[in-house]
Amino acid sequence: MSVTPDLDRRTLLRRAAAAGLLVTPAAGLLSACAGSTPDQNNDSAGEKSNDNPFGVQDGSAVKVVIFNGGLGDAWAKEDQAIFNAKYPNVTVNMSSTQKIKTEEQPKMATQPSDVVMNSGADMMDISTLVNEGAIEPLDDLLAAPAWEGGGTVADSLLPGTVGDGTYQGKFFVVNVAYTVWGNWYNSVLFDKEGWTPPKTFDDFFALAPKIKAKGMAPYVYDAVHGYYPRWALMATVWKSAGKQAVIDIDNLKENAWRAEGVLPALEAWEKLVKDKLLLPGKLDHTQSQQAWLDGKAAFIQVGTWLKNEMAETIPPGFEMKISDYWGLGATDKAPNDVYAGAGEGIVVPAKAPNKAAAKEFLRAVLSKAGSAKFAELTKSLASTKGSGDNVQDAALASANELMKNASSDLISIKLWNFYADLDKESQNLSAELMAGRLTAAQFVDKMQAAADKVAKDSSITKQTRDA
């Protein structure tokens, strides 16, 4: 069965901290979930109304599991308070973990939680969840009135949010965070030294000697998890080669990795490594971020969850701001496209005991009040429009500014969600390139070979990206 998300689920963080190592569960692991119908197991539905569109029943309970990563879980507790202010007689059993797949996947076919935030390195593979019928379509959530009224839930969401959570023409994943990726710097330091944040690699290479003269490495990154450097590599590929080149890569088109602009983009990163502009040492995400905060490096690339993740160790007088990923300059086909989109996905299992309360809880999560609290507490945008309007924070303001100047196309890579083995190979090769053990040309050759292998394997269901 084909699974075609309309927009890439990064992360990430898709993240990792926004995205994760996607390992497809064993075939049939979730098969007991297949064939579930939307109301099959929903024994806790009461009378429906415009104010209670899913029929949440007094005296019922809803179990909510939150991924406690870079964004923490304080924001979810605010949503719980919003929900319980309206439904004081509904018990919300909320817990937090980083072991989503380990703890939640075994329950999916029997007695799952009602709301599961599926994120981090131990996230469940979304394609498998959809194919096995293990999660509930949430199109009725989109069509429901927004929590405060004034249109539907769908009307209240930022561009790309619905597409990021859509598979096979149905909406399955509520991505609560709107993440912006780029290169971070300390604006206080840059103002003091008179440095201008680079817009191109040539700008960066010209600035690098001045940074080194101050006893700092120009750049640091997570050298442990391959999906971290991959964000930056593919952002440069997109800017240099253009959107269509990446669409062709996602669609396994013959020789897509050899399209004009792909190799030069990767050669810029190869030069950064060869010129010894990286902080030495194999640091993971938090170690590299702390090294940057400690003034050991001038730039680090990551998403807008950074400030919240490192909130306790930000030194006095340090003002973090985000700038766009660097392109190559005049030859770039998409210089103003920004890497951003909805992430940190929440799903409702198909066999959730209380789907009515689960969907209503998500309506609270996407409320204006809940989203404002999310932005305030995480210093990251929520997927609901206007979440950061009243938050006074330099990091969030710089992300807003970056988005204001962005083009209408958002950078997104889909092969990571399309093909688990190709996803893993791209992480491994990204790590090798950044470690200096692989040239840009070798990276291209190996990625093309890996893509060809998937393309020729008739046992693998092929996905199609249209835009």
CB count within 10 Å of CB 319 equals 16
Residue 217 lies in a domain: yes
Q: Residues 16-45: what's their mean pLDDT?
A: 39
Domain shared by 278 and 318, yes or no: yes
pLDDT-derived band of residue 225, with 50, 70 and 90 as boundaries?
very high
Residue 447 lies in a domain: no
What single letter denotes the amino acid at residue 154?
A: A
Domain shared by 290 and 403, yes or no: no
pLDDT digits (tens, 9 = 90+) for 76-98: 999 999 999 999 999 999 999 99
Tokens of 33: 């979930």
Q: How far apart are CA 80 and CA 84, in angstroms?
A: 6
Please choose, from the candidates 148, 160, 208, the residue with its C-alpha nearest in 3D space to the C-alpha of residue 183.
208
Residue 320 lies in a domain: yes
Q: Is the model more confident about 165 or about 4?
A: 165
Q: How far apart are CA 253 and CA 465, in angstroms?
A: 11
Q: Residues 124-131: what's their mean pLDDT?
A: 89
Of 374, 391, 410, the one marking the end of a domain is 410
Torsion of CA 161, 163, 167, 169, to 10 degrees: 130
Domain shared by 347 and 367, yes or no: yes
pLDDT digits (tens, 9 = 90+) for 53-71: 999 999 999 999 999 988 8
| DSSP for 7-28, written as a single string | S----EEEETTTS----PPPTT
| DSSP for 157-204, written as a single string | BPTTHHHHTEETTEE--EEEEEEEEEEEEEHHHHHHHT----SBHHHH
Q: How far apart are CA 143 and CA 303, in angstroms?
A: 30
pLDDT digits (tens, 9 = 90+) for 134-155: 999 999 999 999 999 989 999 9
Give percent of the chain above pLDDT 70. Answer: 90
Domain shared by 78 and 159, yes or no: yes
Predicted pLDDT at 45: 65
Segment (H or E) for 343: strand 338-347
Residue 383 lies in a domain: yes
**Range from 51-65, 232-246, 269-283, 373-387 carrying the lowest mean pLDDT:** 373-387
Domain shared by 21 and 148, yes or no: yes
pLDDT digits (tens, 9 = 90+) for 307-364: 988 999 999 999 999 999 999 999 999 999 999 988 899 999 999 999 999 999 999 9
What single letter denotes the amino acid at residue 6?
A: D
Confidence check: pLDDT of 430 > 50: yes
Tokens of 174: 């509520």
Block residue for tokens 């000697």: 209
Q: How far apart are CA 67 and CA 73, in angstroms?
A: 7
Predicted pLDDT at 44: 53
Domain shared by 174 and 208, yes or no: no
Q: How far is CA 113 from the centre of its chain?
A: 22
Domain shared by 168 and 256, yes or no: no
**Could you tell me how many helices (H) and strands (E) the chain has, helices first?**
18, 13
Q: Residues 460-464: what's their mean pLDDT?
A: 88
**Mean of per-residue pLDDT scores for the chain:** 89
Domain shared by 147 and 215, yes or no: no
Domain shared by 316 and 331, yes or no: yes
Q: How far apart are CA 268 and CA 273, in angstroms?
A: 9
Name the domain count of the chain. 2
CATH of the domain at 241: 3.40.190.10
Predicted pLDDT at 277: 98
Confidence check: pLDDT of 398 > 50: yes
Q: Is the CA virtual torsion 122, 128, 132, 138 positive or negative? A: positive
Tokens of 438: 């692989």
Q: Is the model more confident about 32 or about 436?
A: 436
Q: Is the model more confident about 388 or about 338?
A: 338
Of 361, 382, 410, the one marking the end of a domain is 410
* Structural domain of 88: 12-179+341-410
Residue 112 lies in a domain: yes
Predicted pLDDT at 305: 86
Domain shared by 83 and 225, yes or no: no
Confidence check: pLDDT of 18 > 60: no
Please choose, from the candidates 6, 11, 8, the residue with its C-alpha nearest in 3D space to the C-alpha of residue 303.
11
Predicted pLDDT at 158: 84
Q: CA triplet 5, 381, 126: central angle to 5 degrees?
A: 25
Predicted pLDDT at 105: 95
Residue 462 lies in a domain: no
Q: How far apart are CA 157 and CA 173, in angstroms?
A: 13
Confidence check: pLDDT of 439 > 70: yes
Domain shared by 70 and 138, yes or no: yes
Of 320, 339, 358, the one marking the end of a domain is 339
Predicted pLDDT at 252: 98
Confidence check: pLDDT of 5 > 50: no
Residue 148 lies in a domain: yes
Please choose, from the candidates 324, 340, 379, the residue with its C-alpha nearest in 3D space to the C-alpha of residue 72.
379
Confidence check: pLDDT of 157 > 80: yes
pTM to 2 decimal places: 0.74
**Range from 111-115, 262-266, 386-390 carrying the lowest mean pLDDT:** 386-390
Domain shared by 290 and 320, yes or no: yes
Residue 139 lies in a domain: yes
